[in-house]
Amino acid sequence: MQHRLLAPPDSSSSDEDLKAPELPIRKPTPKRRIGKDYRPPDLEFHVAPPPLPGHESHYQHPKSSPVQSPLIKQMTEGHPCSPPTPRRHKLSEPNSPYYVNTAEARTHPCSPHTPRQSPRRPKNTSMVDLSSRPLPIPNDLDRPSSFVANLHWEQSLYDGIPITVPKEDLEDTLALVKIADYVWIAGKKRGCSETISSRFNVGDQLRQINDQIVVDVTIAHALFKTTAKQEVILMVKRLPYAKIFKVQRTSTDVAWGLKVEGNKVLDVPKTGPAADAGINARPEGALSKRLCSWIVTHINQTPVSLSCSKDEVKNRLDNSDLEMSIVLQPEDFISKLKSELQDVKFSIDYI
């Protein structure tokens, strides 16, 4: 095997000839800010790309030379084209054949443009004047059905009912007590006026006197005496804790189905006119969640005194006809009214 010998380097060559050629200095690439408005420089065409063969297009890049569409060429070169669409008439212009006078249309009661007004409960009922609210006019309040319907309607009013009373009739005629931060009517004076005896009930809540909110018994009596108006408007919440029933029986020989002692209901049998009317024996208390008994406060549109005799309610039940109206209130609430009534001056004069 023959070995080739490498020739020794020429002694005449210098060290500079043996160095590798120098590479050009590479400049640093500038940083690119990439965001929603960034476009790569390679995609920024200043001239529209030529269309593919057989796929002629009217595409024009925004930065390319202006290329007009055939429709624009037709309009600029004077060729006939379709006229512009006429302006449509607005409904608010009187010259329009479709003009509707909404101001007159809303005043017509049968117009479909009349807005439907829905009842809304005011946010601040204490500042609303409710004295002009009309009360229902029952056909005959002497009938138990009309009396019960009228009381149910008055109970449903969230703000209460306005009652106008002459100023002289309010002088020491209502026994007012305070229970649970509210002022209540606990009794009416014997021999009071017809307005007081017929329009107010034991268990009503007194809310306002004229435009003044009632928060205390002493202030209420002071407003009765110092008001400058000869007619005082009392805003009353009708019997908030009471239940009103209409009881019917087929014959006077049939018992009502109520076992009473004084004005207290002891028991309600499961069968009978009282049970059929929805009266239960043990209701939930007004001041607590405990069960208690019913107290009779009205029979046939006539109030029952809180301190009635033992057989008064029983005799009035027996003397009732085939139809009877009865108002029942929880025992704990009535007991609280009676205890607060003892602190009223001359409490024995109130019934």
Candidate from 58-72, 147-161, 288-302 with smallest mean pLDDT: 58-72
User: From residue 319, how far is each of 271, 315, 335 by CA, in Å?
Assistant: 21, 6, 27
**Model confidence pLDDT, tens digit, residues 133-146:** 544 444 455 677 88
The predicted model scores a pTM of 0.59
Tokens linked to 323: 């139809």
What is the band of 266 on the pLDDT scale with cuts at 50, 70, 90? very high
What is the band of 179 on the pLDDT scale with cuts at 50, 70, 90? very high
Candidate from 74-78, 163-167, 226-230 with smallest mean pLDDT: 74-78
CA distance linking residue 294 with residue 243, whole number of Å: 10
pLDDT of 46 > 60? The answer is: no
**Model confidence pLDDT, tens digit, residues 116-126:** 555 555 555 44
pLDDT of residue 138: 47
**Model confidence pLDDT, tens digit, residues 7-28:** 555 555 555 556 666 777 776 7
Task: Let me know: does 232 contact 212? Beta carbons within 8 Å.
Answer: no
Candidate from 81-85, 116-120, 284-288, 302-306 with smallest mean pLDDT: 116-120
CA distance linking residue 177 with residue 347, whole number of Å: 11
pLDDT of 90 > 90? The answer is: no
Angle at 212 between CA 205 and CA 175, to 5 degrees: 40
**Model confidence pLDDT, tens digit, residues 210-243:** 989 998 999 999 999 888 888 999 999 999 999 9
Tokens linked to 185: 């009517």
pLDDT of residue 249: 92
Q: Where are the beta strands (DSSP E) in the chain?
A: 161-166, 174-179, 182-188, 205-209, 212-213, 231-237, 243-248, 259-261, 264-267, 294-299, 302-303, 323-330
Q: What is the mean pLDDT of residues 108-132?
A: 51
Tokens linked to 181: 């931060």
Strand partners, 302: 299
> Which residue has 């020989």 as its token pair?
253
> Which residue has 């939930």 as its token pair?
284
Candidate from 54-68, 180-194, 277-291 with smallest mean pLDDT: 54-68
What is the band of 348 on the pLDDT scale with cuts at 50, 70, 90? confident
pLDDT of residue 143: 75
Q: Which residue type does 283 have?
A: P
> Which residue has 């020794």 as its token pair?
8
Higher pLDDT, 327 or 125: 327
User: From residue 221, how far is each of 188, 225, 345 by CA, in Å?
Assistant: 14, 7, 13
> Which residue has 């309010």 as its token pair?
170
pLDDT of residue 45: 45
What is the band of 130 on the pLDDT scale with cuts at 50, 70, 90? very low
Strand partners, 245: 326
pLDDT of residue 197: 87
Q: What is the DSSP string of 235-295?
A: EEE--TT-EEEEEE-S-TTS--S-EEETTEEEE--SSSHHHHTT--SSPBPSSSSSB--EE
The segment with the largest mean pLDDT, out of 31-35, 76-80, 124-128, is 31-35
Q: Which residue type does 36 have?
A: K
Higher pLDDT, 347 or 54: 347
pLDDT of 184 > 70? The answer is: yes
Angle at 9 between CA 6 and CA 11, to 5 degrees: 150
Q: What is the mean pLDDT of residues 161-187?
A: 91
Task: Let me know: does 307 contact 273? Beta carbons within 8 Å.
Answer: no
Tokens linked to 159: 């703000």
* Average confidence score pLDDT of the chain: 77
Number of CB atoms found within 10 A of residue 329's CB: 24
- Which burial class, exposed, middle or buried, applies to 66 when counting CB atoms under 10 A from its CB (0-12, 13-18, 19+)? exposed
CA distance linking residue 209 with residue 211, whole number of Å: 6
